[in-house]
Structure formats: C-alpha cells, structure tokens
Amino acid sequence: MTRSATTAHNSTAGADRLTVRQLGVNLGALIEGIDLRQPLDESACDAIRAAHAEHGLILFREQDITADQLMAFGARFGELTVHPFAPADEARPALIRFENTADNPPFGTDVWHSDETFRTAPPMGTMLYAKEIPALGGDTMFASMAAAYDGLSDRMQAFISGLEAVHDIKPFKAIFGDTPEDRVLLQDYEFRYPPVTHPVVRVHPVTGRKVIFVNPQFTIAIKDMDERESTALLQTLFHQALIPENQFRLNWGPGQLAFWDNRSVQHYAVHDYYPQRRVMERVTIAGDEPVGVAAADPASVRRAKDKIVGKVGYGGHTPKGD
C-alpha cells in the first residue's frame, strides 16, 4: 500500500507507545501506535507476544512494509520456517507469496486449518500481510480453538483429553502429477514428512488454556480408534470451528497485517474474491512440539472458562402459564 499522510520517524518504538484494543469476545485484538518500518525495542516485542497469546489474533492496520521488513518483524518472535509446498519467493525461501489472479486461482486455503500440523513441531504463529486486496471479498476467518474446547461438555472434554491424532501432508499430494518423476518426488516428500501424532487437546504453553488441536486439512485419524469412531469424533471436533461464537472474520484493509497464534487458532481463507487479484505475503515462526494434558505441568493448566455454548440458561425465557 502507499502511505501518503504519514511521515517516517526514526526512533525505536517501545511498549509505552502501543495500545491493545480487544476486537472480538473470543479472539482478535488491534494493536495501534506502532509503525512496523521502525525498529521495535524488547518491551514492545514482549507486549506483542503477550497480546498474541492472550487474543489469539492480533492486527496491525495501515502498515507500509517491504518483504524484508515483514521477515525482520517475524524474526523478532522466533526462527522463520520454510514451507515445503507453498509458493515461496525465490530469493527468500521463508517468504510465502500468494499472488492469486484469474490465471492463478487460490489453492487449498479454503479449509479450516492450523498451519503445518503435519510437522512434529508446527509453527507457533503466522504473519499474513495484505499487499493487494480485492474490491470485494477475500476475507479470512479465524476460530479460537480454546473457546471451541471450552464449549464442549465436561464428558467430551474428559474423553478427548488423553487421545492422540494423526496429521499428514495429504492435501498437498494433489499438486504432484502422475508422471514417474512426480511419483519419485512425492515419495521423497512422504519420506521427509511422514504422518505425525499430536495430542487432540493441547495445553497452550503461555496461557495454559486447553485447545482442540485437530483440523480438517491435516488430521486424518484419531490414533487407536476404529475408522468409523475416528471419523465421527473428528467431525464433531471439526464442527467446533464452525460455531460463530468461536469465530472472528477479518475484512482486510490495505496494508493490514495479521499475526495469529497457530497453537490456539484455526483459519480459513474465503475464496469468494476469485477471479479478482489478491496478493498476500506470509511468514511462519517456528514452534514447539504440542504438549497434551497429561504431560503438561498441572500447575500451568488453566480451567476451562465458564461455558457459553451448551450452558442451560434459556436466556430468561420462562414457560407462560394461562
């Protein structure tokens, strides 16, 4: 985006300048008072880190940054990772560039997912920056999987808390052709990225909240369950991301940057803008191996907050007598 009314200043931004305004009940906050072209001091990074974990999704509006500045900002929060399949910038492998046009339709992001859960240690967070947005459509949806967990019944929470699920690169297999070369290449990827297991309920390492950690893009089965049981349970858990109370819908503005917590949030890119042009740049930041409820330090595990979904209150409605 082009910024005409704002002039750059060369001081270091600290936590005293930035404000965090909550935007959604279960996730989403806006960070203001910060220009991402300028260096950030450690106090600002700490404040951003805290808001990221607490709100799951943080937004920065009207930024005007280059790809290198996006990468430098991401690198303040950890090592940048290289996606094995996404369209990367040739000179900068850690920079994903989604440049979708009539001739290059978006692929594979209109499915609820956390990024790269086919890895043993999926990313802790992802930054997505709007370079060119369509006149209409092209929103991104987010779901708090901590709120999704809180919304389950006590019995379901207890049942799923010791389970593990299998995650796989399956959606990317479609990009390989049916030629001998492609079959060899796919075999090589399957060898490098074999299916991995993660706890179905992960404990967030910062907030201690329990999070549903299965997603319809990469999770293929619940370990040690009959296929029919596994499918039924996964469908039930996938459904939690579809509950509007657990969601936040981001309508992108020019130069907007979203930084989501990949440990607790799923997302879905709405492909309704196609065939309009939409250009986004993305970096992902390395994370840790997910820890389940049994392996987590009991003192760090937070109790589920009061449930909204499933709570029997009837909203003040009472039966009327004649």
Task: Say how far apart CA 55 and CA 153 lie, in whole Å.
Answer: 23
Q: Which is nearer to ligand SIN, 114 or 230 (CB)?
A: 114
Task: Say how far apart CA 142 and CA 322 lie, in whole Å.
Answer: 46
What are the angstrom distances between the C-alpha of 103 and each of 97, 99, 275? 15, 10, 8
269 binds ligand SIN (CB under 6 A): yes
| Closest residue to ligand SIN in the complex (CB) | 269
26 binds ligand SIN (CB under 6 A): no
Q: Which is nearer to ligand SIN, 26 or 109 (CB)?
A: 109
Q: Which of 77, 98, 112, 149 binds ligand SIN (CB under 6 A)?
A: 98
140 binds ligand SIN (CB under 6 A): yes
37 binds ligand SIN (CB under 6 A): no
Q: Which is nearer to ligand SIN, 151 or 213 (CB)?
A: 213
Task: Say how far apart CA 226 and CA 220 lie, in whole Å.
Answer: 13
71 binds ligand SIN (CB under 6 A): no
- Closest CB 185 distance from ligand SIN, rounded Å: 23
Q: Which of 165, 280, 283, 293 binds ligand SIN (CB under 6 A)?
A: 280
Residues between 201 and 220 that touch ligand SIN (CB under 6 A):
none
- Closest CB 269 distance from ligand SIN, rounded Å: 3
264 binds ligand SIN (CB under 6 A): no
Question: Which residues have C-beta within 8 Å of that of residue 147, sequence separation ≥ 6?
Answer: 26, 27, 245, 246
Q: Which is nearer to ligand SIN, 50 or 111 (CB)?
A: 111
In order, the DSSP letters of 232-272 are HHHHHHHHGGG-GGGEEEE---TT-EEEEETTTEEEEE-GG
- Closest CB 282 distance from ligand SIN, rounded Å: 6
C-alpha closest to that of 234 among 223, 244, 245:
223
Please count the residues of this chain forming the interface with ligand SIN, following the rule CB under 6 A: 8
At 81, is the secondary structure helix, strand, or coil?
coil
Q: Would you name the residues annotated as active-site residues?
A: 113, 115, 267, 282
C-alpha closest to that of 172 among 104, 123, 115:
115
Q: Which is nearer to ligand SIN, 165 or 269 (CB)?
A: 269
Q: Which is nearer to ligand SIN, 175 or 184 (CB)?
A: 175
The first and second tokens of residue 1, run together, are 């985006």
- Closest CB 267 distance from ligand SIN, rounded Å: 6
Task: Say how far apart CA 309 and CA 147 lie, in whole Å.
Answer: 9
Q: Which of 149, 207, 282, 285 binds ligand SIN (CB under 6 A)?
A: 282
Residues between 120 and 139 that touch ligand SIN (CB under 6 A):
128
- Closest CB 260 distance from ligand SIN, rounded Å: 9
Task: Say how far apart CA 24 and CA 246 lie, in whole Å.
Answer: 9
**Contact between residue 285 and residue 81 where contact means Cβ atoms under 8 Å apart:** yes
- Closest CB 204 distance from ligand SIN, rounded Å: 20
Q: Which is nearer to ligand SIN, 17 or 267 (CB)?
A: 267
What are the angstrom distances between the C-alpha of 216 and each of 57, 161, 166, 222, 241? 20, 19, 11, 12, 10
Label residues 170-186 b or e (16+ Cβ within 10 Å = b): ebbeeebeeeeeeeeeb
Cα-trace Rg, the chain = 21
- Closest CB 109 distance from ligand SIN, rounded Å: 4
Residue ranges binding ligand SIN (CB under 6 A): 98, 109, 128, 140, 267, 269, 280, 282
